[in-house]
Amino acid sequence: MAKHASAAVGWGHHHLQKRWLLALLLMLTVSMVIAFFIRAAFDSCDRNVSVDNVISSARDSVQVVDKRAPQIAAAKPSPLSFMKSKIVLLVSHELSLSGGPLLLMELAFLLRSVGAEVNWVTFMKPSETDEVIYSLEHKMLDRGVQVFSAFGKEAIDTALRADLVVLNTAVAGKWLDYVLKEDVHRVLPKVLWWIHEMRGHYFKLEYVKHLPSVAGAMIDSHVTAEYWKNRTQERLKIKMPETYVVHLGNSNELMQVAEDSVAKRVLREHVRESLGVRNDDLLFALINSVSRGKGQDLFLRSFYEALQLIKQKKMQVPPLHAVIVGSDMSAHTKLEMELRDYVKQKKIQDRVHFVNKTLTVAPYLAAVDVLVQNSQGRGECFGRITIEAMAFQLPVLGTAAGGTMEIVVNGTTGLLHPAGKEGVTTLVKHIVKLATHVERRLTIGKRGYERVKERFLEHHMAERIGEVLKEVLRKSKIKSSKHL
């Protein structure tokens, strides 16, 4: 949506006053469209579907205003342009709103944008119709990604003729033997295994026994790569293939919203209105699917203790609120019920808000003041939401574990606390610190944004992935020639 700024420059053939008038009209158009769609979203029973259309609808309105507006500068060639006409098969263990499948979809769109033939199969799908799967599959079909069954002849034929096969997550490894059977060794030399997991239960030989034979493994952080190297050797007695660490980057679409002050202001106002949070209130968010590993329970405990500390010391701060984005009450999990019971027990229903899982996080990032990344145990493999929050100039309160430590510079772009119950006390202090020191909060947010611009943009990620794909294709070509 930041396109309105560049479009205004393109109209400056007359005089400055007219140029700025058109720019102002265009910004107002964008604001009204965003407001219309986001209000419709929050009036709907299903926030997930409606909110997902807000950004694209507003951006479309910009393009309609003046299709004649010339581009300010020619786009740089994509670092993935060498993939043009290449045949790629993407294998996902599931199709959901979780990080792994969404990242693979993003790779699919990047490859399609340079003219690759991209095919997608999902290994584990429910027998009954699933609205999320239906929606995501059609999103891919609309972008030119071919979607078909993981078990049919088409999947086998595509794997055999493909230049590249990408397995997404450790669990997807089961597809190799289950579907390819005796053809598996013809495909392994062109397999890139993209691994995101940090949990011990993924280290099963039935999942990853073919790891030593694939062209390479791509992992989102150095700490995760080291963990996989040690764990496979010690527990499974197998060696990792050539392993490439690729830090992720924010999509261009998200950055357009993050850098559009008009869009952010409108989104902030309407999201907060829907939650019952005033504009001057401080809103802390944890945006992750609800589970023990993501630490929503410890976050709410820390938030409550911070409220108590502020009250006891009679600190002069705006009202604090917390929002959990990633709930799924339809699942009726024990943790979902525990979280709500805790909020009722502590009588903080007016301060804590729950929002369903959503594909579009930008409206919530625009609405909140601080992101809490509270993943437990070994932490996140990377934690995409962290760099997304930093793009919106939000300070991050994160656990000192996993990929978060490769993103957040402690004391500069965020504040880190230990994982586990022992981290609660530190997290309480950090919540209070950011609540009472406005300048510190804003400075940390600005430095986080600068770090994103330096290393966590889409083109940074595309460059890193491009180098990996070139190497994998080179190895595959060498192995194929040896078999001739």
Beta bridge partners, 397, equal 372, 415
Q: Check: CB of residue 384 under 8 Å from CB of residue 299.
A: no
- Residues 416-454 pLDDT 10s: 999 999 999 999 999 999 999 999 999 999 999 999 999
Q: Report the C-alpha gap between 330 and 359 in whole angstroms.
A: 17
- Residue 14: pLDDT band by 50, 70, 90 thresholds? very low
- Together in a domain, 113 and 232: yes
7 falls within a domain? no
Q: Averaged over 82-110, what is the pLDDT?
A: 94
Query: Do residue 400 and residue 475 come from a single domain?
Result: no
How far is it, in rounded angstroms, from Cα 278 to Cα 282? 9
Q: Does residue 46 belong to any structural domain of this protein?
A: no
State the pLDDT at residue 387: 98
Do 315 and 399 sit in the same domain of this protein? yes
pLDDT tens-digit series, residues 291-348: 999 999 999 999 999 999 999 999 999 999 999 999 987 877 899 999 999 999 999 9
251-298 tens-digit pLDDT = 999 999 999 999 999 999 999 999 999 999 999 999 999 999 999 999
* pLDDT band, residue 146 (cuts 50/70/90): very high
Are 279 and 314 contained in the same domain?
A: yes
- Has residue 39 got a pLDDT over 70? no
Domain shared by 435 and 469, yes or no = no
Q: Are 323 and 271 in contact (CB under 8 A)?
A: no
Do the domain assignments include residue 312?
Answer: yes
Is residue 190 included in any domain, yes or no? yes
Q: What angle do CA 442, 455, 145 make, to 5 degrees?
A: 115
Q: Which residues of 446-461 are buried (b: 16+ CB within 10 A; e: fewer)?
A: ebbbebbeeebbbebb
Question: What pLDDT, on the 0 to 100 scale, is given for residue 481?
Answer: 62
Residue 52 lies in a domain: no
Structural domains counted in the chain: 2
Residues 225 and 162 occupy one common structural domain: yes
Contact 409, 421 (CB under 8 A): no
- Nearest CA to 193 out of 226, 260, 130, 241 is that of 241
Are residue 110 and residue 158 in the same domain, yes or no? yes
Residue-wise burial string across 284-295, b where 16 or more C-beta atoms lie within 10 A, e elsewhere: bbbbbbbeebbb
Residue 66 has pLDDT above 80, yes or no: no
Residue 11 pLDDT greater than 50, yes or no: no
CA distance 362 to 355: 14
- Note whether residue 120 is domain-resident: yes
Q: Is residue 159 part of a domain?
A: yes
Residues 98 and 180 in one domain: yes
Domain housing 395? 252-456
> Domain for residue 158, yes or no?
yes
Rounded Cα distance between 395 and 398, Å, is: 10
pTM of the full structure: 0.84
Do 278 and 312 sit in the same domain of this protein?
Answer: yes
Q: Examine the domain organization and report whether 244 and 273 are in the same domain.
A: no
Strands of 342-433 (E only): list them. Answer: 352-356, 370-373, 396-399, 414-417
How far apart are alpha carbons 144 and 138 in whole angstroms?
10
Mean pLDDT of all residues in 54-82: 54
DSSP letter string, 330-352: GG--HHHHHHHHHHHHTT-TTTE
Helix (H, G, I), strand (E, B) or coil at 218: strand
The reply to whether 332 and 188 lie within a common domain is no
Mean pLDDT (the chain, rounded): 86
Q: How confident is the model at residue 43 (pLDDT cuts 50, 70, 90)?
A: very low
Please say if the pLDDT value at position 65 is more than 90: no
Q: What pLDDT, on a 0 to 100 scale, did the predictor assign at position 35?
A: 40
Amino acid 483: pLDDT? 54
Residues 6+ apart with CB under 8 A from 40: 50
Q: CA 352 to CA 435: how far, in whole Å? A: 16
% pLDDT > 70, the chain: 83
CATH code, domain carrying 413: 3.40.50.2000
Do 238 and 271 have their domain in common? no
pLDDT at 17: 35
